Structure 1
Amino acid sequence: MPRYSEERKAATLKKLLPPQSRSVNSVADEDGISPQTLYHWLKQCREQGVAVPGHQKQADQWSAEDKLAIVIETAGLSEAELSAYCREKGLFTAQVKQWRTDCLQGFGRTADSERQVKQERKKTTKEIKKLKAEVRRKDKALAETSALLVLSKKLEALYGDEPDNEDD
């Protein structure tokens, strides 16, 4: 198992991380490092809190953990520092600001909204139960109707198409 220097590892990771965000396979082919090793290095970076995009190259498709890591990293930065950080990571400042707003909205959920969601879920469950009962009832009626139709056809086949006319 080959050992790679920290400098080579850092240079390779720089190719994989934003703004370049190159694919693991292309970097593996170019540098002669196995893709498994590169995935392991990316996993290590993610565990260290570095924002590492997953299989998606677009920043909007990053995982929630990566977005949160970006928000935490940029929390204390000024506007100029944030712009520089975004250029380095291949992001837009508007994306980071939106992610920050999304995080704050997530924390802003109150017990009332949780209660409201629970009531809505309960109401939906009742409606689903009612609709399922109605479907079962209609299935039974349909089965009964089809059985009667089959019986009437058998009766016609047995006695013929002539209706009973006892008045003749």
Structure 2
Amino acid sequence: MSTLEKWRAQSLGKPAQDKVWTAAARLQAVIATAAMDEVTRNAWCRENGLYAHQLQQWKDSATQSLAAPEEMRASPSQTKADRRRIKELERELRRKESALAEAAALLVLSKKTAAIFQRNAQDQDE
């Protein structure tokens, strides 16, 4: 048996549940099984290596993702409050950054002055 024939036999012999279901394939499965009664849907699931609860999860996920944009949209007053809060946080961040820069400059300056005074003390001792 050639290699290609072996590969073909292996791929055909794989169980259907090892199949990777893309988002489009999931939606198509939900649409195809939507009008089926429970017995027919279960038979379809067995043929395709799925469980009925997986189809239900996919249906719920599709329904939720279609409904989410409307529910997730912020109200104008919420948006205005968010913009105000962002401005306050940016102002506070600028203030803290400048304070940090000032503290860093003072630290460098104090180290330099300490080094200068230490050098002067050594020069006087000699």
* Superposition TM-score, scaled by structure 1 size: 0.49
Structure 1: state its 5+ residue gaps: 1-10, 22-51, 54-61, 162-168
Whole-Å Cα distance in 2 between the matches of residues 142 and 122 of structure 1?
A: 30
Q: Kindly indicate whether the alpha-carbon contact (under 8 Å) linking 1:71 and 1:99 is maintained by their aligned counterparts in 2.
A: yes
CA distance in structure 1 between the aligned counterparts of 2:92 and 2:100, rounded to whole angstroms? 12
The number of residue pairs the alignment matches comes to: 111
RMSD: 3.7
Work out whether 1:84 is the aligned partner of 2:81.
no
Q: Shift of residue 155 of structure 1?
A: 2.4
* Aligned position for 2:108: 150
CA contact (8 A) 2:33 2:41 kept: yes
1:60-91 CA-to-partner distances (Å, cap 9, x unmatched) read xx332121111011011111111111111111
Structure-2 separation of matches of 1:117 and 1:67: 33
2:106 corresponds to which letter in structure 1?
L
**CA distance in 2: counterparts of 1:77 and 1:143, whole angstroms:** 68
What displacement does 1:136 show? 3.4
1:150 maps to amino acid: V
Larger Rg: 2
Is this contact kept in 1: 2:16–2:49, CA < 8 A?
Answer: yes
Counterpart of 1:26? none
Instruction: List gaps (5 residues or longer) in structure 2.
Output: 1-7, 120-126
The answer on 1:101 being equivalent to 2:60 is: yes
**Partner Cα separation in structure 2 for residue 84 and residue 154 of structure 1:** 82
Identity across the alignment (%): 38
Change (3 A) 1:129 1:90: farther
Higher helix share: 2
> 1:135 Cα shift?
3.1
When residues 106 and 153 of structure 1 are mapped into structure 2, their CA distance, relative to the original with a 3 A threshold, is closer
> Which of 26, 33, 38 does residue 74 from structure 1 map onto?
33
* Greater RCO (CA < 8 Å, at least 6 residues apart): 2
Change (3 A) 1:84 1:124: farther
